[in-house]
Structure 1
Amino acid sequence: MEVFKMKWNFNDAEQYVQAKEYIDTAIIPLIPYSFSSDEDIQKLSFQKEVMDVFTTQIEKELKGRIFLIPEYYYLKDAKIEEEKQNLDQQIEHVQSQPFNHVFLLTFDSQWRKKVKEFDADLLWIPSIKEGNLNQVDKQQLIQAQVEEVLQLIKESWSN
C-alpha cells in the first residue's frame, strides 16, 4: 500500500475510498470559537493554530492509518450537553464507514466532564498560552505533547 496523509480534501478522499480497509482511525479536532472579547478571539484563534500543528504532526507520524475529519466547531460558551448531542451524531456517522477508532482532540477542559459518555476516545491536551514561551520552546513542548498523543493512539490499536 502506498503511504499517504489523509485530510478532508478531494485527493485524500479519493485515496481513502481506494484504501479504506487500511485506514481504521479517524481524528476529529474540537475547536471552540468566540467573539465575546478580544481576549477570547486571540486565545481561541491561537489554540486553533496550535491544533493545526498537532493534527499535522499526528497525521505525518501515522500516515496511511488515520483520516483527519473536518474540525467540529462550537461556541465557547455553548451548553456542553447540547454540543455533545451534535458531536455524538457526527461520531456515529464517522463510525459507520467503519472507523474502528475515533479520537476527539481538544484543548477545552470542559469536555473532560463528558469523557466517559462518548463512543469515542476523547484526548484532552493542556493548552499552550501565547506569549509564554519562545518559538523553540513552543515547538519542543508541542512535539512532546504530540508524542504522548501518538502513544495513546497506538496503545488503543493494540487493545
Structure 2
Amino acid sequence: MMKEVGQYLQEKEFVDTVVIPLIPLDLSSTAKQTASMGEYILYVSAEIERQFKGRMLLLPSYSYWVGEEGAVERLQAWENQCREAGAKHVFFITSDVWWQQAYTGEGTLLWLPAVPMENFDEEMRRKVVRDSVSGLIASFTEAWT
C-alpha cells in the first residue's frame, strides 16, 4: 500500500479515479457465503489495480457489518474525502445486492454477482477474475469520456 500511495502522490495529476471494494462482514449462519462475496471482490479489485496502475488508486476495502446501521453514511464520508482529495471518479465494487438499493451517492456502484472461488485452481480463478474485469472496463472508460 505504501508503494501505491507513493506512486499516487507522484502522479496525482494523472490519477483521477479511486476504486473502493465493499466487503461485508457477517458471523451468522450466512458467514461463509458473505466471506465468499468478499473474497471474490478482493480478487477482482486486485486485478483492476494491476490493469489500470497509474490511472486508478485502489483504496483499502470498506468493511461493514451486514445490516449495520450507518454504513451508507460512513461510505458517503469516504466518498466525500476522496472527492476533496481530488478524485473525479469514485467507483465502489461489491457483490452485496443490498448496496444497489442503499447507495445513493455520486460515485459509481459496480455490482458483480459473486463467484465462489474456493474450489477453483489458480488458473481458473485468474480466468474468472480477468473475465469479470473485462466486463467492467466499459464502465471505467464511459466515466472517463
In the superposition, the TM-score normalised over structure 1's length comes to 0.82
Q: Counterpart in 1 of 2:142? A: 155
**Greater Rg over alpha carbons, structure:** 1
Provide the rounded CA distance (Å) in 2 between the counterparts of 1:21 and 1:138: 34
Aligned to 2:129, which of 133, 142, 145?
142
SS in 2 for 1:104: strand
Unmatched segments (≥5 aa) in structure 2: none
Whether the 8 Å contact between 2:19 and 2:90 is mirrored in structure 1 is yes
Provide the rounded CA distance (Å) in 2 between the counterparts of 1:17 and 1:134: 37
| Alignment pair present for 1:14 and 2:6 | yes
Mapping for residues 89-104 of structure 1, pairs under 5 Å = 89-104=77-92
Provide the rounded CA distance (Å) in 1 between the counterparts of 2:77 and 2:28: 27
Post-superposition Cα deviations, 1:121-149, rounded to whole Å, max 9, x if no partner, equal 00011111356x74455543332221111
Q: Counterpart in 2 of 1:28? A: 20
Q: Counterpart in 2 of 1:72? A: 62
Q: Counterpart in 2 of 1:128? A: 115
Q: Which ranges of 4 or more aligned residues in structure 1 deviate by more than 6 Å? A: none
Provide the rounded CA distance (Å) in 2 between the counterparts of 1:28 and 1:18: 20
Q: Counterpart in 1 of 2:41? A: 51
Identical counterparts, % of pairs: 26
Letter in 2 for 1:69: L
Post-superposition Cα deviations, 1:69-104, rounded to whole Å, max 9, x if no partner, equal 11111001224xx21111101100011110110000
In the superposition, the TM-score normalised over structure 2's length comes to 0.89
Provide the rounded CA distance (Å) in 1 between the counterparts of 2:85 and 2:14: 12
Mapping for residues 77-88 of structure 1, pairs under 5 Å = 77-79=67-69, 82-88=70-76
